[in-house]
Amino acid sequence: MNKIVFATAQQAVEKIAEQFKAYSFEGRPVHISLSGGSTPKLLFKTLAQPPFNRQIEWRNLHFWWGDERMVPPADPESNYGEVQKLLFDHIQIPAENIHRIRGEQPVEQELKRFEAELNALVPKGVFDWIILGMGNDGHTASLFPQQTDFHNPHLAVIASHPQSGQLRISKTAKLLERAKRITYLVIGAAKAEILKQIQDTPAELLPYPAARIQAKNGITEWYLDGEAAQFLE
């Protein structure tokens, strides 16, 4: 496991924020995929404040999501809605740089539209950077244990949350794995046990999409805080 352990979650997200800044000065459109759920909220708050809000060249960064819940942006469950509230409402970023999955639309129709947008704008489907989270059950994006087809050749897929049945759209494992760089940001003691399993067991023997999805031609790294990493060597 290629991991970096930070003393605090704040230090982990500041490292990511520094890298947003570096990418934003590459003088080209940089395609970044964000994760949803609770973990990245601290990152979005940090990016929205000085010094990052003013130092980053936002016009060069294009934002996408690994997955979205099929709810309107104002719904507290919306992955895009959280970033809008915590980050986009506080910075100057062109609207055309925000490539959200439209959770308020009919799911089949939105899947096709999202795939078409990916095809049109992301060269060869290769993202510069994909930031992922990991759920307590080892899911990542909306790719859940026991229901993920790791060989699905499409760019995106309709998923259903195993407990609630909530519909979602997720990037597929194949699309995620094309990225130049994947960073799993995992924070907190609730994820510590599963991280230990991921460290100790070959990925193909585990049911967890977060263990198995890795950049095929790029870097995969794990940014952890001390609590998440407490059982790791």
Alpha-carbon gap, residue 198 to 77, rounded angstroms: 28
DSSP code for 186: E
Point out which span in 31-39, 51-59, 86-94, 151-159 binds ligand LXAUTJHC (CB under 6 A): 31-39
The one among 23, 30, 32, 39 contacting ligand LXAUTJHC by CB under 6 A: 39
Q: 169: closest CA among 115, 98, 96?
A: 115
Min dist CB 91 to ligand LXAUTJHC, Å, is 21
Alpha-carbon gap, residue 95 to 97, rounded angstroms: 5
φ, ψ at 147 (rounded to 5°)? -130, 10
Kindly state whether residue 24 participates in binding ligand LXAUTJHC, applying the rule CB under 6 A: no
Kindly state whether residue 172 participates in binding ligand LXAUTJHC, applying the rule CB under 6 A: no
The one among 43, 71, 86, 141 contacting ligand LXAUTJHC by CB under 6 A: 141
Task: Specify the residue, 17 or 34, whose C-beta has the smaller distance to ligand LXAUTJHC.
Answer: 34
Min dist CB 143 to ligand LXAUTJHC, Å, is 9
DSSP code for 108: H
Strands 167-171 and 156-160: antiparallel
Kindly state whether residue 183 participates in binding ligand LXAUTJHC, applying the rule CB under 6 A: no
Cβ–Cβ under 8 Å, residues 56 and 83: no
Q: Which residue's Cβ has the minimum distance to ligand LXAUTJHC? A: 37
Kindly state whether residue 109 participates in binding ligand LXAUTJHC, applying the rule CB under 6 A: no
Which tokens go with 175? Answer: 């699309």
H-only helix segments in 36-143: 41-47, 52-55, 79-86, 107-121
Kindly state whether residue 79 participates in binding ligand LXAUTJHC, applying the rule CB under 6 A: yes
Contacts with ligand LXAUTJHC by CB under 6 A lie at: 35-39, 66-67, 79, 132-133, 135, 140-142
